[in-house]
């Protein structure tokens, strides 16, 4: 829709024009904004391949929900060994740092692992909003 500098009677109306342009600009900015959300889901324990596939699906759900997902457990294992105690502790430390950059923490599934529990505890300590979802990406309260 094109915004005119003239009112419906044909008179020049710069105040109304500027107001409508500002509204239009604000709407475009809002449409581009995607809050960063921390994806908290099982990685270790159980079927690692299935956990990775689930985390990828949860990230897709976040994108479809208008968010920018952050799932460190999909990234760090590419160059760190989760079975090595030092690497695991370093990755958890980095996870906590990345979580501080996020608007919310989204927890998926019924199985809360030890690592997930630590992330949820840290989110609560820092008063980060935590939302819970089922394995089927349905929010649970």
Q: What is the pLDDT of residues 1-40, one digit of tens each?
A: 688 888 888 888 888 888 888 777 777 766 678 999 999 9
The pLDDT value recorded for residue 110 is: 87
pLDDT tens track for 56-111: 999 999 999 999 999 999 999 999 998 899 999 999 999 999 999 999 999 999 88
Q: Count H helices, E strands: the chain?
A: 5, 5
The pLDDT value recorded for residue 29 is: 65
Residue written as token pair 């109306």? 13
The pLDDT value recorded for residue 31 is: 64
The 8-class DSSP code of residue 65 comes to T
Q: Which residues contact 59 (CB under 8 A, 6 or more apart)?
A: 39, 69, 71, 74
The pLDDT value recorded for residue 35 is: 95
Q: Which residues contact 54 (CB under 8 A, 6 or more apart)?
A: 41, 42, 108, 109, 135
Angle at 74 between CA 90 and CA 34, to 5 degrees: 105
The pLDDT value recorded for residue 77 is: 92
Round to whole Å and give the CA distance between 100 and 112: 20
Q: Which residues contact 70 (CB under 8 A, 6 or more apart)?
A: 36, 37, 38, 39, 98, 101, 102
Mean pLDDT of 125-135: 96
Query: Would you call 97 helix, strand, or coil by DSSP?
Result: helix
Residue among 106, 108, 132, 110 at smallest CA distance from 52: 108
pLDDT tens track for 106-127: 999 988 999 999 999 999 999 9
């Amino acid at each position: 829709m094109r915004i005119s500098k003239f009112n419906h009677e044909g008179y020049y109306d710069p105040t109304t024009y500027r107001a409508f342009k500002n509204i239009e600009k604000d709407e475009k900015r809002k449409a581009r904004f995607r809050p960063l959300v921390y994806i908290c889901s099982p990685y270790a324990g159980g079927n690692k391949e299935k956990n990775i596939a689930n985390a990828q699906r949860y990230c897709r759900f976040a994108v479809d929900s208008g968010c920018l997902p952050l799932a460190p457990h999909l990234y760090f294992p590419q160059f760190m060994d989760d079975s090595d105690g030092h690497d695991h502790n370093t990755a958890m430390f980095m996870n906590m740092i990345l979580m501080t950059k996020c608007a919310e923490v989204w927890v998926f599934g019924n199985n809360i692992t030890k690592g997930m529990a630590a992330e949820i505890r840290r989110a609560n300590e820092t008063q980060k909003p935590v939302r819970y979802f089922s394995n089927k990406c349905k929010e649970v309260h």
